[in-house]
Amino acid sequence: MTGWEKVGALTALYAIGLLWANWLMVRRVRGAVAARAAWTAADFDDCFAELDPRVAPSVRAALAPHYGPGVVPRPEDTLRRFLKLDRGEVEDVALDAAARLGLALEAERKALLVADLPDVAALVRYLGARVRQS
Q: pLDDT, tens digit, for every residue of 23-56?
A: 988 887 777 777 777 889 999 999 999 999 999 9
**How confident is the model at residue 44, as a pLDDT?**
94
pLDDT-based confidence at residue 12 (cuts at 50, 70, 90): very high
Q: 49-87: per-residue pLDDT in tens?
A: 999 999 999 999 999 998 877 788 999 988 888 888 888
Residue 91 has pLDDT above 70, yes or no: yes
| Count of Cβ atoms closer than 10 Å to residue 115 Cβ | 9
Q: Which amino acid does the sequence have at 123?
A: L
Taking phi over 0 as left and psi of -120 to 50 as alpha, with beta for the rest, 62 belongs to alpha
Q: Cα separation of 71 and 114, whole Å?
A: 24
Residues 88-105 have a mean pLDDT of 85
Domain map of the chain by residue range?
Answer: 1-35, 39-133
Rounded CA-CA distance 76/24 in Å is 23
Instruction: Report which DSSP code applies to 67.
Output: S
Query: What is the residue type of 118?
Result: P
